[in-house]
Structure 1
Amino acid sequence: MPCRAARRLHKALGRRGVFLLILGTGKTCWGISFLVDPPRDHGLKLLTDVCSLRHWSWLWIVAGVITLGSAFLRIGRDKIGFAVALVPPTVWATAYTAAVVSGYYSRGAYVALWYLTSHVGVILWAATVPEYSVPRVPRSARRGKAA
């Protein structure tokens, strides 16, 4: 029974929807982790000068919920999910880059590159993946001509 439900959900969501569902769930969980037990602010001084990491956790949570919700939208309308999913990792990459430039956190360059490649890059790539590949339509036989 659960396998049948999973297959129906997968068929209803499609490849893009499944990606958005997984991504949204991950972002929401990541945000909740900042809310429940915020880590030290190594390299995030740019953000923590504005407000605490507990407040910034809501950026991840809201983006995650919107991304997760976009999984259930039709193709073309799901673009909002991909766009919103880019916001938190871009903000974090910017903060880490600022920490490197200011000399506050030299390791931030690696973390910023990680966010830019494994988050932003993957999201941008997934946004361009078509839902399905349509095979070429075979040429129909001419009428009245025997082969």
Structure 2
Amino acid sequence: MPRRAARRLYKTLGRRGTFLLILGTGKTCWGVSFLVAPPPEAPGLELLTDLCSLRHWSWLWIVCGLITFTSAFLPIGRDKLGFSTALIPPTVWAIAYTYAVLTGEYSRGGFVAIWYLTSHCGVIMWAATVPEYSVPRAPRSARRGKGA
């Protein structure tokens, strides 16, 4: 029974929807972690924490995660909102870490910014271009020789 339900869910979601579902869940959980137990220090995020606390910034992750999650259930072609919304939190974090490097507050921030830009933003942008169904090429018919 659980396998049948999983197959039906996968058929409903497709490849892009499954990616958005996983991504939305992860972003929401990451945001909830900052809400429930924010770290005492957030080196490299001073640009953000000067504006408001990490508890407030956690809502950016949570809201964007929930939008990404619900976009998984939209029809193909209408899921662009989920992909673009998923880009917002890691882009904001990457900007904050880049700023921290440029101001000299957190020298390691450059590596963290590159990590957010590649493993988050880059993967999201790549996944947004993956077609839902890839159709294999039609096989070429065999040529007959003239000598037959």
**Structure 2 length normalisation: TM-score?**
0.91
Q: CA deviation at 1:3?
A: 1.1
Once the two structures are superposed, residues 94-124 of structure 1 have per-residue CA deviations (whole angstroms, 9 ceiling, x without a partner) of 0000000000000000100000000000000
Paired residues for 1:58-73 under 5 Å: 58-73=59-74
Q: Which runs of 5+ in 1 are unaligned?
A: 140-147
In 2: Cα distance, 1:76 partner to 1:69 partner? 14
Moved over 3 A (4+): 135-139
Aligned length: 139
In 2: Cα distance, 1:27 partner to 1:55 partner? 15
In 2: Cα distance, 1:136 partner to 1:110 partner? 41
How big is the alpha-carbon RMSD for the aligned residues of Structure 1 and Structure 2?
Answer: 1.2
Q: Which runs of 5+ in 2 are unaligned?
A: 141-148
1:131 aligned partner, one-letter code: E
Percent of aligned pairs with the same residue?
78
Aligned to 1:30: 30
Aligned to 1:125: 126
**Structure 1 length normalisation: TM-score?**
0.92
Once the two structures are superposed, residues 38-87 of structure 1 have per-residue CA deviations (whole angstroms, 9 ceiling, x without a partner) of 11211000000100000000000000000000000011100000000000
In 2: Cα distance, 1:12 partner to 1:79 partner? 17
Q: CA deviation at 1:134?
A: 2.1
